[in-house]
Structure 1
Amino acid sequence: MAIDFQRHIARQYGDRLSPGISPSGDVAVSGGRALADALDGVSDLIPLPFLSAFVNIAIKVLEACEEATAIEEDLMDLQERVYDLMLLVVNTVPVNRRVSIALQDKVRRLQSILDNILLDVGKIKAQKKWLLLFFHNLNKDRVDRCVGRLTGALEQFTVRSLFLAVLSVLIFSQVVSHLHVEDVLDKIRAEHSAFAAQLNRIEDAVNRTTQPHTAPSAYPRQDMPPTARRLFGRESLIDEIASLLTNESTSRVCITGAGGMGKTSVALAVAESPIIKRNFNKDRIFWIPCVEARSSDLLRRILYAQLRVTAETHDTLDALLDELDAIKDRRLLLLDNFETPWLSGQDRDKVGHILSRLAALPHIALLVTMTSSFTPGDIEWQHRPLAPLEPAAARDAFKAKYRDAADGHALAEGEGELDKFLASIGHLPLAITLTAACGGRLKASPADLLRDWRIAGIGIMSGHETLSMDETIRVSIERGVVRSNPEALTLLAILSMLPAGTTGNNLRWWAPSFTSPSPALQTLRTAALIEQDEGAFSTARIFIRPTIQSYMSQQNRISTEIRDLVYDACFKFVLDHKSIPDDRKFKDDLEALATEETNIQRLLMDVDVHNLQSNAIDALIAFGFYQSWTRPSTHLASRALKALLTFRRNSSDLSDPRAAARRVAEAHRCLGRNLFALDRYGKAYKYFEEASRLFQSLPDLALAGECAMDSLRMWRFMKRAGNDELESRVQEAQANLSHDRNDRYHVARGLLGFGEFLWWRKRRTEAIQPLYEASKIFEDLNCSASAAQSLHYLARTYARLEELSKALLVSRDALAKAEECGETGLLCSALKITAIYLMASEAYDDALPSITQALAASRSVGYPNGIAQSLELMAYNCAARMDLSGARIAYEGARAHFAKRGSARIGSRGVARCAENVEKLRQLPELNQDSFANLTKPVPWY
């Protein structure tokens, strides 16, 4: 902060000027030296080297004039004029703001003139006094030239100070000789008197500024900012903190959180709360802004200023603490933005010492806010980390700010789009305030803001330069504690590319070059740039707020090297967890990929499909298969296939054409599997057919057979009529799978495919043998997924043959294998047939858990057919237990989900079946066995 320098030096020389009296030579010299001392005393605060140089040369002139007075008495007049000139210049230079180049040049020209005068005075000093006895006018011309040079320079140096009038009369008296001398003296006396009166009025303030470490002049006391009109979602927290502060044993409260979380607003609301006002006198509540306290010394000065304490020296806290301790009245000190002295300076120990000494006074309540995840110093704090707003509070805050900015017009759009937007910006109070104000002024909808956020990021959160999200984040990143640790900045960039964060265990994948990430993590948490969930470090999620991610993604803040490192880590992570359901590590791989699913999906969607390396393509395909088993989606699989086809079309240099062809075939199969899981059988059939053809041409007969079996399953799901050609194709696929009789796994896969076909063609008795043999081989090979598939169809075969008890036993075996495997699709199928056979055995209560679990599993992966079928089973089970309302609700839900299947045969028949049962139930006042028996059973039943 700049100080009023003229007031600072006024005390140094002001008492040497009596009204109407020009200074004598010795007074001028002593005053000039005091002025130089004053300049030197504040040189660390106001670096004006050109001004100091001017004053120093002026003092040399004054001293030279004093020494030469014995030779030439007329030099006393010149001495007085130089002194007044020095005062004029110092009074004119605006040291509390940037000095213009033009004014600096004028001062330097005056300095040059003083240099020449000093040479002339030196020549006078070298003379012998007796020469003047013979040559009375020996020095007159030289002195007149000195005065003339001063006169010319001053004509170019325009000022507004009252010194100008005084000095003008002193120096230009020869050009105003028509004025009476008495009038001139009266003018001098009057203006000197006015100046003396002015000095008297500011004497008290000037007295404090003369100390070498003067806080009040360097840091004028600031008033506490006004509190926000209303803080949504913080009411209970404000009351809680206020109550803590009123009790001496809990009166050390620290509010921490990321920038923009609203820490200052909460603290100010606490200071203005009724609880605080009842317990603290108004003049005993002090706001201490620490945002500029970049050292312990500056923090002390601000404390002295804000607490209105004066002392001979501010090098220690002794005087301040003595005054605080002298009166035992309770006082509240709100140290706001304490992260500046704690995290930005180089003397944290000294800052901590100041804080500890304040905390040692029991009647002093401390409320500290700081951008950090940790509290400062070794103090028993009541720590209150500030979290983002709850969705409801965020919604209310946005609407209120929007309405204010829109001149009273309320937000018209529904809350669904608003909730999506607020979630995307992390429910951060400052982000809400800025975007609501922007949206209100433009009358923009939440959908508009969400679109702009996805395009421009925090660019839509502009505001006043001290209230912008960009500035808030920049200041946090540029803290000394962060800049001092280069690894922290690298880790911040890495984490910024992971929208869902990561776990302590997985951090080694994303930052493989780090021997230990702990120091960098500690630094980033200290600066509140990252968050960490509760719990063990290995499994706790470490993440970055959306606003910081957006900031880092702009203006090339993440280097190309770090981006490449993160992409490579992503590809490696996916490929290291690549497996199929029959692999023993499949379940573990699913769990591992699930922990990073959002990050992987975002990174894979962002890669440039026109410049993909082989590991990127392999990762796209592998993750596409993972999605087919968890949450089906065609985006990544389509992306991989498009990239491969583009590459093959545009490249004439294929170093390994067989590997390229295999990737194309795998991409077709991957896309087909996702379409199948989404019940889009027609399109899936085409991709499986093409994959089978491509694998056949490699040749890779086993995979050609697998894809052929998949395409035939699509044929069955589409309910296409069977013919002899279809059976021959099944046999061809089985032959391809079994071409190597030593490959027991693929031999069993061929038996499974053929058994499914026989089951579909209603040749159930024939189906038992191949399905049973397949299940035994898979059991021996410990292939849980294929064993579950085999047992699933075997159970359905027994059920169709009316062997219900055997069907139930086998279905439970299938369920156990599906749970062991971990593939959700198999689990859903096994749960549904187990529930059906239990209900067929009239064990309705036993069936309910399986139905509930099947519904939850289907919803978790988004299987439309699985959700609809599970809801229909739930409805039928409710009706069997005479739960009329439950049955109605479940049938309505099933009908809605079947309707989403569009014109598919399964969907249309499901809609008709559920609608028929809803109509039957609507006419009933209550259910009984007869009305239950009248309901249409779910399909499939057996």
Structure 2
Amino acid sequence: MPGCFGWWPPKGPPKTKRVEELATPSTAMYAIEGGKALAEALQNVSDLIPLPFLSSFVSVGLKVLEACQEATAIEENVKNLQQRVYDMMLVVVNNSTVPVNEKTSAELRRRIWELRSLLAEILADLAKIKEQRRWLLVFFRDLNKARVDTCVVRLTIALEEFQLASQLRIEASQLRVEDLLSKIKAEHASLLPQLDRIEDAVKQFSQPHKAASRREDMRLLPPIFHGRDALVQKIALLLAAQGTSRVCITGAGGMGKTSVAVAVTESTIINNIFPKEYIFWVPCITAKSSDLLRRILYTQLRITAETYDSLDPLIAELDASKQPRLLLLDNFETPWLSGPDPLEVGHILRRLAALPHIALLLTMTSGVTPEGIKWEHVPLPALEPAAARDVFKNTYRDATGGLELAATETQLDNVLESIGHMPLAITLMATCGGHLGASPDDLLVDWRKAGTEMLSGGGKGRLSMDDTIGLSMERGVNSDPNAHRLLAVLSMLPAGTTGENLLKWWAPTIHTSTHAAVETLRTAALIEQDHGPFLASRIFVRPTIQSYMAHQDRISGPVRDQVHHACYEFIMRHRSIPDDNRFKSNLDALASEETNIQGLLMEIPVDAPRPNAVDALIAFSVYQSWTKPSVVVASHALEVARAVYRNPHVTDRDAAARCVAAAHQSLGRSLFILDRYDEARTHFEEAAARYRDLPGGPDPHRVGEASMQLVRTWTYIGTADLHSLVTEAHANLASDPNDRYHVARGLLGSGLSAAKEIFETLQNDCPASTAECLYYMARTHTFHADAHATATALPIAQAALAKAEQSGETGLIGHAAGLVARCLVVLGSYEEAEKATERSLEASQALGSPLRIARGLELLAYSCAGRFDLPGSRVAYQGARGQFTKIRETLLGREGVERCSSNLALTEGLTVMELDQSVFSRLEKPSAIY
């Protein structure tokens, strides 16, 4: 298959290689896999070769490799550079071991000295990159790529010249490099021949927020895996070629599609093209809609964005890097065939497939794949008899604790033929037989008693997965109502749950026998449980079993109602505000079940929601606005609330109207956090109006809170009469003088000291509102922009940050930390300012707000300039400008772009030595609003 690896980025002059050659790691691949131990072994070998400069050359090369290891924030380029250095060291050491005459030796010494000088220059370049602040590398590694690319080009040219000069000797001894590597590995076994791979860049700020969903690791191959080697090789070769890199593995549930796909990702062919860090596991079993599929893609691919509601940021980041990536989308039938919006799911897949350097590997039960993509379909057959026997015997032995199966090959073949040689069916039957000590004949009798239904899938002698699972359930599950009910409950929780939450929330009615039910299901191989104590371990249903339970009404109406009720109760029990001391622990609790909760909430029908569904939807959307705003959930909450309010049969009109107002307010908050101020304003205005016109009379406190949010929104838009809005908000919040909490909330716009005193006297001391008071008090001092006022503001801002941390409200933490950083910059404490800026940026990235990120980066840029760090300042200004550009339709966005552009122009062409106090004083200061 010529050209099979044509899309692999070249590492030198184009060369044509056969697949068979590339399936075996090359010299360079061995060098990479040898890692630091192999490089140090080269150092030892070079010390034994009596050639001047050789040991010094290898020593400098090692330093370059170490520098590459530290500069991981620009990973693809550094990997390429590191490979070039490995190549050069191997070639030079190899040529140095060949006997030469005196004239040739002098020429070789000269060339080695030139290469050493080149490595020293490159080491200096890497040192300059390393000097940049960690934040600059993490956020803007692309801006350093040109420098690294230049190093790679220089090394490539030098290596080609060296090889050309030594061509005759290389041709005569081309096998000596391989021999040398073998010798090194043999003689230096004590150096631990572990693979020392370069890790992914520490991109903590390009990671999706933990509340979005829990990132899942690539599945492991089952301990017993036989009979698929040829198929794995075939799929790997298809993925290796760009023209056939869209592969879909299809087959019935339980045929082992996931195991085969995982084996493909571990094959030598695939690992030679896609480094481990560029192979991504995308479990689609929990993706019951296109929205959940997008969120899972962001999480698994370690890409962050302002919101998960659009695929554009993910596509843009994948497109920006041409590094080949392999995406394994497992159980794709869930979003594609079972979700409510298959057209949108197909659109997502087509956008991924449009990127030529992205290889796609799907597993699904059906061969009906999304149109517009040229798929290579690989139907997964049943196991061959010999492999099926091995799987059954090994599984049976494990289930019995080490006893071998006592049966003839014919007896075993009869059972295997009756269940169609399906891997999961074999596993289930062998596990069941092992636990019971049953013989193959006994198992065959049981299967025959099940009747013709057991042969309903795949023709004579073949069983469907439903039949196989049904038989497994007959082994104790169907006769145990608690186990059957527990399996139904767990099948509705795609992310699984902890033993503690299972007992307390999801299955409290079977509390007295939950452990026995879990053991029954585990024995039947219907569920899995992580290692560790029961309460802390995660219990989940295998994907094929979940699919089995989800169809043909195998989950009863009462169980569905119970799980949905538990979901709503869980949300409402963990609903709190940032002034509540339980707020932080409630956030953690909701985050632990977020995938399950969102999946259940999005199932709520618009026309006939269950009791308490609307309240739960609104409460959960408010929670997401505090963690990672999602307009999808908030919009669904508003749609359901409106439908309930319009229903003429609803008797409590006041409660229904309150839900619509609250849904508007929640959606407005999410839009505000995402810097969509005009849209947020409309929903805050609608919320305030509806709270005024409630059927049971106005709710002034709610009107006041919505008005306060409207004030903040207009502050960013910049055109409203804020005085009248603040007055109205204060009047509504203070309407009941006996409600001291709301009276103090009303003073946030005009009487900060009085508000602070009230909050501090209330129970729980209201950490969020107190932090808000302190924040605004400190900010009023910073408006004077002089050192004395700023010195007064600093301790107040630091106290605000401490209170914000106590509350746990992410947005407030970001604001307070940003204000602390601004005070420190004005006072000239740039090192301390950068630490505070890092905290502010952490919170801003968690929320996904471009404005907040832009402000933090602009402040970082100004701080770098104050330390006369010109490269760092430029990189941060460029990043800040990019974030401001995202919200250029707002006044703050346009002003931010202009400031950053002006400061970049001022420093353009300057050297580090030319950046002095006179230049720094002419830089435009960051925006005063925090």
TM-score (norm 1): 0.51
Q: CA deviation at 1:555?
A: 3.8
What corresponds to 1:554 in structure 2? 551
Structure 1 portions without partners, runs of 5+? 1-228, 237-256, 271-339, 341-369, 372-384, 401-412, 429-442, 756-769
Q: Structure 2 matches for 1:187-198, cutoff 5 A?
A: none
The one-letter code of the counterpart of 1:701 is: P
Q: CA deviation at 1:821?
A: 0.6
Could you report, residue by residue, the CA deviation over 1:260-310 in whole angstroms, capped at 9, with x for unpaired residues? 94544469989xxxxxxxxxxxxxxxxxxxxxxxxxxxxxxxxxxxxxxxx
What corresponds to 2:241 in structure 1? none
1:912 aligns with 2:786: no
Contact persistence 1:819–1:827 (CA under 8 A): yes
CA separation of 1:636 and 1:546: change in aligned 2, threshold 3 A: same
Q: CA deviation at 1:700?
A: 0.9
Q: 1:858 aligns with which of 844, 848, 859?
A: 844
CA separation of 1:878 and 1:260: change in aligned 2, threshold 3 A: closer
CA separation of 1:265 and 1:604: change in aligned 2, threshold 3 A: same
1:925 aligns with 2:906: no
Distance in 1, Cα, partners of 2:542 & 2:359: 16
Could you report, residue by residue, the CA deviation over 1:467-493 in whole angstroms, capped at 9, with x for unpaired residues? 588956864674336556553443333
CA separation of 1:556 and 1:883: change in aligned 2, threshold 3 A: farther
CA separation of 1:396 and 1:454: change in aligned 2, threshold 3 A: closer
Contact persistence 2:857–2:879 (CA under 8 A): yes
Q: CA deviation at 1:905?
A: 1.4
Distance in 2, Cα, partners of 1:555 & 1:705: 50
More deviation, 928-937/663-672:
928-937
What corresponds to 2:621 in structure 1? 624
In structure 2, the residue corresponding to 1:514 is in which secondary structure? helix
What corresponds to 2:715 in structure 1? 716
Could you report, residue by residue, the CA deviation over 1:773-819 in whole angstroms, capped at 9, with x for unpaired residues? 11111121111111111111100011223411120010011001101
Q: 1:500 aligns with which of 489, 495, 499?
A: 495
1:490 aligns with 2:488: no
What corresponds to 1:654 in structure 2? 650
Distance in 2, Cα, partners of 1:938 & 1:528: 60
Contact persistence 2:228–2:260 (CA under 8 A): no
CA separation of 1:546 and 1:520: change in aligned 2, threshold 3 A: same
The one-letter code of the counterpart of 1:935 is: L
Distance in 1, Cα, partners of 2:494 & 2:858: 38
What corresponds to 2:827 in structure 1? 841
Q: CA deviation at 1:919?
A: 3.5
Q: CA deviation at 1:423?
A: 4.8
The one-letter code of the counterpart of 2:768 is: A
Contact persistence 1:898–1:907 (CA under 8 A): yes
Contact persistence 1:529–1:544 (CA under 8 A): yes
What corresponds to 1:358 in structure 2? none
1:572 aligns with 2:569: yes
CA separation of 1:800 and 1:444: change in aligned 2, threshold 3 A: closer
1:701 aligns with 2:700: yes
Structure 2 portions without partners, runs of 5+? 1-21, 34-216, 231-253, 275-314, 335-348, 370-377, 383-420, 426-463
Q: Structure 2 matches for 1:576-725, cutoff 5 A?
A: 576-649=573-646, 651-697=647-693, 698-722=697-721
The one-letter code of the counterpart of 1:706 is: E
In structure 1, the residue corresponding to 2:539 is in which secondary structure? strand
Q: CA deviation at 1:457?
A: 7.4
CA separation of 1:648 and 1:906: change in aligned 2, threshold 3 A: same
1:800 aligns with 2:783: yes
Q: Structure 2 matches for 1:148-297, cutoff 5 A?
A: 261-265=221-225
1:730 aligns with 2:726: yes
In structure 2, the residue corresponding to 1:517 is in which secondary structure? helix
Distance in 2, Cα, partners of 1:444 & 1:868: 32
CA separation of 1:859 and 1:478: change in aligned 2, threshold 3 A: farther
Q: Over aligned residue pairs, what C-alpha RMSD do you find?
A: 4.5
CA separation of 1:550 and 1:875: change in aligned 2, threshold 3 A: farther
CA separation of 1:613 and 1:915: change in aligned 2, threshold 3 A: same
The one-letter code of the counterpart of 1:929 is: D
Contact persistence 1:476–1:527 (CA under 8 A): no
Distance in 2, Cα, partners of 1:540 & 1:738: 49
In structure 1, the residue corresponding to 2:924 is in which secondary structure? coil
Contact persistence 1:426–1:547 (CA under 8 A): no
Distance in 1, Cα, partners of 2:317 & 2:713: 41
In structure 1, the residue corresponding to 2:875 is in which secondary structure? helix
In structure 2, the residue corresponding to 1:542 is in which secondary structure? strand
The one-letter code of the counterpart of 2:540 is: F
What corresponds to 2:394 in structure 1? none
CA separation of 1:524 and 1:575: change in aligned 2, threshold 3 A: same
Contact persistence 1:494–1:510 (CA under 8 A): yes
CA separation of 1:486 and 1:737: change in aligned 2, threshold 3 A: same
More deviation, 523-532/705-714:
523-532
In structure 2, the residue corresponding to 1:646 is in which secondary structure? helix
The one-letter code of the counterpart of 1:671 is: L
Contact persistence 2:704–2:730 (CA under 8 A): yes
Q: CA deviation at 1:940?
A: 2.6
CA separation of 1:826 and 1:446: change in aligned 2, threshold 3 A: closer
Contact persistence 2:858–2:880 (CA under 8 A): yes
What corresponds to 1:879 in structure 2? 865
What corresponds to 1:817 in structure 2? 803
Q: Structure 2 matches for 1:497-536, cutoff 5 A?
A: 497-507=492-502, 508-515=504-511, 516-526=513-523, 528-536=525-533
More deviation, 920-929/770-779:
920-929
Q: Which has the higher contact order (CA 8 A, sep 6+)?
A: 2
Distance in 1, Cα, partners of 2:901 & 2:317: 32
CA separation of 1:444 and 1:788: change in aligned 2, threshold 3 A: closer
Distance in 2, Cα, partners of 1:491 & 1:420: 36
Percentage of matched positions with identical amino acids: 43
Contact persistence 2:644–2:650 (CA under 8 A): no
1:791 aligns with 2:780: no
Distance in 2, Cα, partners of 1:897 & 1:392: 38
Contact persistence 2:673–2:847 (CA under 8 A): no
Q: Structure 2 matches for 1:352-363, cutoff 5 A?
A: none
In structure 2, the residue corresponding to 1:543 is in which secondary structure? strand
Q: Structure 2 matches for 1:77-156, cutoff 5 A?
A: none
Distance in 1, Cα, partners of 2:777 & 2:265: 50
Distance in 2, Cα, partners of 1:602 & 1:394: 37
Q: 2:761 aligns with which of 780, 789, 797?
A: 780
Contact persistence 1:530–1:544 (CA under 8 A): yes
In structure 1, the residue corresponding to 2:927 is in which secondary structure? coil
Distance in 2, Cα, partners of 1:652 & 1:689: 26
Distance in 2, Cα, partners of 1:939 & 1:823: 23
Distance in 2, Cα, partners of 1:596 & 1:638: 21
Larger CA Rg, structure 1 vs 2 = 1
Distance in 1, Cα, partners of 2:698 & 2:316: 57
What corresponds to 1:936 in structure 2? 924
Q: CA deviation at 1:729?
A: 3.7
In structure 2, the residue corresponding to 1:609 is in which secondary structure? coil
Contact persistence 1:421–1:447 (CA under 8 A): no
Q: CA deviation at 1:609?
A: 1.5
What corresponds to 1:113 in structure 2? none
The one-letter code of the counterpart of 2:270 is: D
Contact persistence 1:260–1:472 (CA under 8 A): no
Distance in 1, Cα, partners of 2:713 & 2:769: 18
